[in-house]
Amino acid sequence: MIRRNLAVVLRESASYYPVVTLTGPRQSGKTTLCKAVFPDFHYVSLEDIGARGYAEDDPRGFLREHSAGVVIDEVQRVPELLSALQVEVDAKPDPPGRFILTGSQHFGVSAAVAQSLAGRTAVLTLLPPSLDELKRFASPSNDDLIEMLWTGAYPRIHDRRIPAGRWLRDYIGTYVQRDVREVLNVGDLTAFTTFTKLCAGRTGSELNLSNLAGDAGITRNTAKAWLSVLETSYLCTLIPAWHANLRKQLVKRPKLHFYDTGLVCALLGISSSDQLRHHPLRGPIFESWVIAEITKARLHAGRAPGAHHFRESRGLEVDGVIDEGSALVLVEAKSGATLRSEHFRPLARLSELLRQRDDSRGIQAVLVHGGDERQRRSAGLALPWSGIEHGPWVEG
């Protein structure tokens, strides 16, 4: 068990709310984190047939038995339990933090929580470990960018020293066979697997849903529904375009990013880090890693993800824009180890446009690159990939 950054926020939230809900992808470490933060609590998994039957048949009795403090795992299995939980905490709101819920299906958990526990629960998200958390494992992949991208961040790979390719193949198989059937009635699992691989090939790219559907041989509505399944299971995210009224012809499509680059490599059949080193998608995969690291830093600090991208039709493109209202962080990702002045040009140009508009907000420009140097240039900060945790992602 390594120390997770979200532990502080999880413990703090439990001091305010009677219920804390922790979501995230399967195998991101939710159960391990909850057991570490609340070692004296009972632990009940609703994957267990007996526990699930008890919760379904007598939800009030189930909650009364564990009212002194309990971690309830995979709560989406018994959504009716949340209604009973509402009655329980309304009748006895103190002490706070008695009920810790986890779930691995975002939409199902969020919809049920919003309906039954609004105002009664904190909702937190745990993604696979960020780079600074991975450094707490004694893992050789942490020292080499390409090896780290290929391995990915799922904790079991690093904790148990399981070969990444083997574990990720099993994870993909389990996910398709189990979660897809639960979240959406997908009749043709082979077609869905093909669709998932096509999405992986588009990581770091703007999403053209019609083109994706055509390549997959499905309708646009089916592609939209299947993409929502990938989002529901926290495999990928769509970051929206950012505009801020710059009076330009702006592209409004979202960008598709997978949260885990090891999973992308497994889906694309990239069988080694050496193959990734020369792969044509190395740049987009690195960009997705940067966006994922920013997202992890913010979510694990209890904040909203906040990432956008920017592109105008005449060519100016910036990979990430973090809009804090009173401040902006502009982000470019370059996987190469050599810093070049042209890498800063998009950042400098967008900064110039914002200042011409008399934008009074503070602007920070950051280039995250595949080398080792940290430099402060006139156009912005050059930040090495290995120091990404020191970026200004959570300020404000």
Has domain 6-125 been given CATH number 3.30.70.260?
no
* Predicted confidence (pLDDT) per residue in 261-294, tens digit: 999 999 999 999 999 999 999 999 999 999 999 9
Query: Which residue positions in the chain have pLDDT lower than 50?
Result: none
Domain with CATH 1.10.10.10 in the chain: 131-288
Q: For residues 195 and 226, give the distance between their C-alpha atoms in angstroms, rounded to a whole number.
A: 8
Q: Provide CATH code, domain 131-288.
A: 1.10.10.10
Per-position DSSP letters for 322-388, written without gaps between them: EE-SSEEEEEEEE--SS--GGGGHHHHHHHHHHHHTT--SEEEEEEEESSS--EEETTEEEEEGGGG
Please report the pLDDT score of residue 184 as a whole number.
Answer: 67
pTM across the whole model: 0.94
**What are 70's strand-pairing partners?**
42, 99
What is the structure's pLDDT at 241? 92
Q: Which helix (DSSP H) or strand (DSSP E) does residue 205 occupy?
A: strand 205-206
- The residue length of the chain stands at 396
Write the CA distances from 235 to 116, 228, 381, integer angstroms: 26, 10, 30
CATH code for residues 307-390: 3.40.1350
Q: What is the pLDDT of residues 303-347, one digit of tens each?
A: 999 899 998 877 889 999 998 878 899 999 999 999 999 999 999
Strands 236-239 and 255-258: antiparallel
- Spatial distance between the Cα atoms of 321 and 306, rounded to a whole number of angstroms: 8
